[in-house]
Amino acid sequence: MVFDPKREYVCGRRVTNSGELLQLVTAAGRAGGLSVAFVPSTDKKIRDQQFEFFCRLAIGDYDRDERSKTYGGNLTLVCDELHLVTRAGWAPASWGAVTLMGRTEGLSVVGISQRPSALDKDFFYQATTYRTHMLNGDDVITVAKDTGIPKEKIRALRAFEYLERDAGKNELKTGKVRF
């Protein structure tokens, strides 16, 4: 399940309506097999509400009538352009639940942003793997401080190169995205 503000992901179905997303998630249930990219509104207020709803669906905390889990678990959740829906000192409660409890609920969470300095800090502290690509300015300092990846190594990255570190380990892996 992908939160896709820029319409970049090609997977299963693409939906722009929260009601349709709820139907797909409910139909998939805990069995899995869900492949959907949700494209939110460009209006910030609406997009923020949609992100809250999206996260509640992923963590299994949304069913208006029965208050039971609609999904939750057995899911890879990709949230792109996180800086559009979180801030350095704030994130929606449902995103906090996803990052805090997601693993125990069976979620694999991938958070992506071109502006990591604008992200909720709890997300950094809950991560098990960090990967960074070429960055500039304050983002280099933020990622170095929050991930333990040396800022000199981040500054040395070129287009499509990345550094990856598992939380709790000092080993850095390097790589290059290939198309």
Residues 117-171 have pLDDT tens digits of: 989 888 888 888 999 999 999 999 999 999 999 999 999 999 999 999 998 888 9
SS3 for 128-155 is CEEEECCCCCHHHHHHHHHHCCCHHHHH
- Domain of residue 161 covers 128-179
pLDDT interval class at 68 (50, 70, 90): very low
**Is the same domain home to 149 and 105?**
no
pLDDT interval class at 67 (50, 70, 90): very low
- Per the DSSP assignment, residues forming a β-bridge with 33 are none
Q: What's the pLDDT at 106? A: 80
**Is the same domain home to 154 and 78?**
no
Report the domain count for the chain.
Answer: 2
Q: Which long-range contacts (CB under 8 A, 24 or more apart) does 140-143 make?
A: 141/117, 142/116, 142/117, 143/116, 143/117
Is the torsion defined by CA of 68, 72, 78, 79 positive or negative? positive
Residue-averaged pLDDT of the chain: 88
Q: What's the pLDDT at 112? A: 94
The CA–CA distances, whole Å, from 150 to 73, 113, 123 equal 34, 19, 19
**Is the same domain home to 97 and 115?**
yes
Per-residue pLDDT for 70 more than 80?
A: no
**Is the same domain home to 29 and 41?**
yes
Q: What's the pLDDT at 121? A: 85
pLDDT interval class at 65 (50, 70, 90): very low
pLDDT interval class at 31 (50, 70, 90): low
- For residues 101 and 160, which has the higher predicted lDDT (pLDDT)? 160
- For residues 177 and 30, which has the higher predicted lDDT (pLDDT)? 177
**Is the same domain home to 59 and 101?**
yes
- How many Å is the maximal CA-CA distance in the chain? 53
**Is the same domain home to 90 and 163?**
no
Mode of pairing for the β-strands spanning 13-15 and 36-38: parallel
pLDDT mean over 90-100: 91
**Is the same domain home to 11 and 28?**
yes
pLDDT mean over 21-48: 89
